[in-house]
Chains A and B, each alone.
Chain A
Amino acid sequence: MLDGILMLLVLLNLFSLGSTRISASIRVVAYQGAAIGLVPLFLRGKIPGTMLLGIVFVTLLVKAVLLPGFLRYAQKRVNVRREEKTFVGVSTSILCGVAALGVAFFISSRLPLPFATASPFIVPVALSVSLTGSFIIISRAQALSQVIGYLILENGIYLFGIALFLEQPLLVELGMLLDVFVGVFVMGITIFHINREFEHTDTSRLSGLADWLPEERSLE
């Protein structure tokens, strides 16, 4: 069952790379958050049932409900529907996603875990989710897509943490969840400001700051 969830995560990765519609990407992030939130149920960890349910509940609430909800609100407010121009085409993106999966498996085969885990695929899948997130941040121009990429990156890290260290003190993990939540919130507010100031949220056109501007060169 755990392997099933991990496989679902890999498929969602590829799906997120293949979609240029922002609303579809937000839905993918929500599903991904839900899948990761359910992971602790299948770990056969030695922690009390109420605490387990608590973790599952908080993770689902933040990663599958609150954050996607906020992103959807932001999308409506800045009114972007799709990624107009990606720096990398859709099919190339998916190929890169497959390559990232390969890289993740290679890295985790070189870094053997010093203890047994519930599934041998946790580390490679977590790494590939994070790599996919980083790739989306780099390859998309819309500010909202970059935030989505950041969330996917964080999802991968969270999966790594929760699947390997479920039995550890929770305070830190909750702090991390809170920080990600506030981080996305601050980014969202910044996007509102960008939208108001520039009347678009295309970050490839945010290029006012540079060391040598072309027009300066002609002045000198």
Chain B
Amino acid sequence: MILLLFVIPFISGLLAFFLRNDLLRRRLLLSVACGHSAFSLYLCLFRGVDQQWLGFGMDALSRYFTAIFSLLFLCASFYAVIYLREEKSKPREESEEGLLFDNAPEAAFTGCLLIFLASMSLLALSRHFGLIWIAMETTTLVSAPLIYFHRHPRSLEATWKYLLICSVGIALALFGNLFLAVSASASGSGAELSLDRLLKAGVSLDPLWLKAGFIFILVGYGTKMGLAPMHTWLPDAHSEAPSVVSALLSGALLNCAFLAILRFYQLCLANGLGGFCRELFLIFGFLSMAVACLFIIGQSDYKRLLAYSSVEHMGILCFAVATGSAYGAMLHAANHSFVKGALFICAGNILAYFKSKKIADVRGMAHLLPWAGVLWFAGILAICGAPPFGTFLSEWIILKSAAASGNILLPAAYLFLLSVIFIAMTGIGMRMSFGVPGTTLAAQEYGGKKHFLPLLPALILLSISLLLGIYLPESLGRAVSEAAALLGGNI
């Protein structure tokens, strides 16, 4: 039954390649996204039963992550449909150099989107490290054509970097899996890669090979997750991809890579290597936050700004796991996904209006595009962890557990980096939203009425994050703590 989460998007993805009718294809995308998110939300919130079938199964962790990316996918696909309709009707011009360019065929784009959803579901459903690896590699391969939707040199360059860097990273993760198999064969049950049987074997795994495996997995999948210093593909891909795809890469794909690392972490916990793993998480977490901080200050491109902010938040997730606050990490993963999705959708609207990705070119949105201006600024506040939003709550929980760890340096450095990023990002957000409008370029051709509809998904995502900050429903709270319990965490 749960396998439907993978099978239906996969089949309809293949179908989308061959559907000639644009309208029909867009309806297919929307209906699959609706069905997928309804089903996964139902599984996450109301039916906390672990199911198992062959190498597939769902536990609290995968139910939770599936619900996050599925909800984000629904909002993104809603925006994608509007976006594809717009793209069809107007001539296209490259934003940086003013070159004309073509788009990839819409059928291929929709098909890849759906198969992307399918491969992420496969990743969440797998209870076998080999399958997880295959699903991860598949997400890379199907998202590469998505990044190269606008056929111009810059996106091509980004696609090449993405493909090569992530493929090498995932190859390293394969080494990690093989090391795990060596480690498992020490326990006498043969080379085993099934998560459940390995968890049962627990302490009898060979710790030396398991450690080596974890390093390879963290570096390998960490490349995909965007941890510094392996993050270099991320700002390029996020800034050159269409905004829908950036939202999905940032909100869904990075979390999935995190999930894959957490699976391995579960094993290490069972083996008693938790301390070793947390040290590594701490190093990569801090490095990511620091690198992101450096590049956010003085950033001149607002999509790259969002990309570096993703690097920062992946660092925060690692930091949370390192300080033992798995609950905070889970909550923060959801909050980051929703807010970042909303911000990228806003960025897409801003780009469509101002035709520039430069921060300096965007001024006074509150006058020109009231909805986008307000949502953009609210989103920037939310992503920096300002109080009413859910991000504040999760960052606060993480801070509390860092303070409880006994080492005063940890919370201090964490707070310092967060506040520097807060100042830098809100400054930029304020100038973009409330500055004095400069010369208005294409103001007329972008009709006034159309403003609101493409922003609706962003509004919904932001409201969810706001809700999470004010009121956490009981069923959701249970889902979060069950997921955190698998990582040996408490609040």
Contacts and interface: CB of A to CB of B under 8 A. Distances in A.
A208 B186 contact: no
A89 interface: no
Interface stretch (B23-31, B152-160, B414-422): B152-160
Interface stretch (A14-22, A32-40, A64-72, A176-184): A176-184
Interface in A108-124: 111, 113-115
A175 B130 contact: yes
Interface residues of B, number: 52
A111 B295 CA distance: 39
A193 B163 CA distance: 14
A193 B156 contact: yes
A213 to B, nearest CB: 9
A164 B134 contact: no
Contacts of A167: 190
Given A114-B206, A153-B168, A209-B236, A179 B137 contact: yes
Nearest to B157: A206
A137 interface: yes
A161 interface: yes
A171 B56 CA distance: 14
B239 interface: yes
Nearest to A127: B175
A186 B144 contact: yes
B160 A203 contact: yes
A176 B167 CA distance: 12
Contacts of B300: 211-212, 216
A154 B154 CA distance: 28
Given A172-B130, A182-B141, A211-B299, A187 B164 contact: yes
Interface in A151-177: 153-154, 157, 160-161, 164-165, 167-168, 171-172, 175-176
Contacts of A92: none
Contacts of A209: 154, 157-158, 161, 235-236, 239-240
Nearest to A201: B160
Interface in B181-200: 181-183, 185-186, 190-191, 193
A172 B193 contact: yes
B131 interface: yes
B163 A190 contact: yes
A168 B190 contact: yes
A194 interface: yes
Interface string B159-174: 1110110011001001
Contacts of B206: 114
Interface string B125-155: 0001011011001101100110010011110
B3 interface: no
Contacts of A160: 175, 178
A114 B187 CA distance: 9
Nearest to A115: B185
B336 interface: no
A134 interface: yes
A103 to B, nearest CB: 14
A150 interface: yes
Contacts of A203: 160
Given A179-B138, A187-B167, A157 B174 contact: yes
Contacts of A206: 157, 160-161
A143 interface: yes
A185 to B, nearest CB: 9
B181 A137 contact: no
Contacts of B178: 157, 160-161, 164-165
B138 A164 contact: no
Report, as a range, how many residues of chain A touch the other chain. 35 or more
Given A164-B191, A194-B156, A206-B160, A111 B304 contact: no
A146 interface: yes
Contact of B134 (A115, A175, A187, A212): A175
Contacts of B190: 167-168
A176 B160 contact: no
A111 B144 CA distance: 36
B167 A183 contact: yes
Among the interface residues B145, B156, B159, B235, which one has the most CB atoms of the partner chain A within 10 A?
A: B156
Among the interface residues A111, A161, A171, A208, which one has the most CB atoms of the partner chain B within 10 A?
A: A208
B157 to A, nearest CB: 5
A193 B148 contact: yes
Interface in B240-271: 240
A130 interface: yes
Contacts of B152: 197
A130 B191 contact: no
A130 B209 CA distance: 18
B101 to A, nearest CB: 10
Contacts of B181: 161, 164-165, 168
A150 B186 contact: no
Interface of B: 128, 130-131, 133-134, 137-138, 140-141, 144-145, 148, 151-154, 156-161, 163-164, 167-168, 171, 174-175, 178, 181-183, 185-186, 190-191, 193, 206, 208-209, 212, 235-236, 239-240, 295, 298-301, 304
Sorted nearest first, the 4 A-B pairs with minimum C-beta distance are: A172-B130, A114-B186, A179-B137, A209-B236
12 contacts: A114-B209, A115-B185, A134-B168, A164-B178, A164-B181, A175-B131, A176-B134, A179-B137, A182-B141, A203-B160, A209-B239, A209-B240
Given A168-B181, A197-B151, 16 more contacts: A114-B183, A114-B209, A150-B164, A150-B167, A157-B175, A160-B178, A161-B181, A165-B181, A168-B190, A172-B128, A203-B160, A206-B160, A209-B236, A209-B239, A211-B300, A216-B300
Interface of A: 111, 113-115, 130, 134, 137, 143, 146, 150, 153-154, 157, 160-161, 164-165, 167-168, 171-172, 175-176, 179, 182-183, 186-187, 190, 193-194, 197-198, 203, 206-209, 211-212, 216
